[in-house]
Amino acid sequence: MGHEHEHEIEISISDLDASGRDFAFPVRGAWVRGALEGHEATSTGRDGSLALRASKSGTDVVLRGHLEVVLVTPCARCLEPVTFGVDEEISWLMVPRSAYRDPGPGEHELAALDADTSPYDGDTVVLDDLVRDELVLATPMIPLCSEDCPGMSPAREGRDGAGVDPRLLPLLQIKLEKP
């Protein structure tokens, strides 16, 4: 399959004019799983949604909308799954790649203003990477299943070794044999 057909979320610019048009995209659970591969967060299996209003201003494409996805990630303390919602208002400006320029040295202040500006190629605006970035940015840095999560509890093993990882039983035997 060629790369040009592997995009999940794209808009054809020829469908747009200055008055704008509404789009509604499913953000499929399977797509989220692939897009976030290698990242702690992943899909719950439920589809999310991206509702957009897209309009054209010269060759620029202005996108405003709402992204809703439910993700799951391990608790930073106990590693139990933590479900959280991504519920973001989004605003992106897409410019033709020929007019797009990465900020050079000393332009970091300006770059912050253009943080939501991205290039597009040809007649298609592809939003997959932008949606993925929003999901990554919305993932809590230290996700907790609850504010008072005690973390991973030490094994509360009895003298018989119940509840102990079987690989650690020899160490438990040594511990129990010592006076």
Tell me how far the alpha carbon of residue 86 is from its chain's centroid. 8
Q: What length does the chain have?
A: 179
* pLDDT value of residue 169: 76
* Per-residue pLDDT in tens (0 to 9) along the chain, 179 residues: 334 447 889 999 988 888 999 999 999 999 999 999 999 999 999 999 999 999 998 889 999 999 999 999 999 989 999 999 999 999 999 998 887 666 555 544 444 444 578 888 889 999 999 999 999 999 999 999 988 888 766 544 444 555 667 777 777 778 777 76
How far from 123 is each of 37, 72, 116, 119, 128, CA to CA, in Å? 28, 35, 20, 12, 16
Would you say the pTM of this structure is higher than 0.85? no
Residue type, 128: D
The domain locations on the chain are 3-148, 152-179
Under DSSP, the state recorded for 153 is: P
| Separation CA 172–CA 170 (nearest Å) | 5
| Separation CA 118–CA 96 (nearest Å) | 9
Under DSSP, the state recorded for 99 is: G
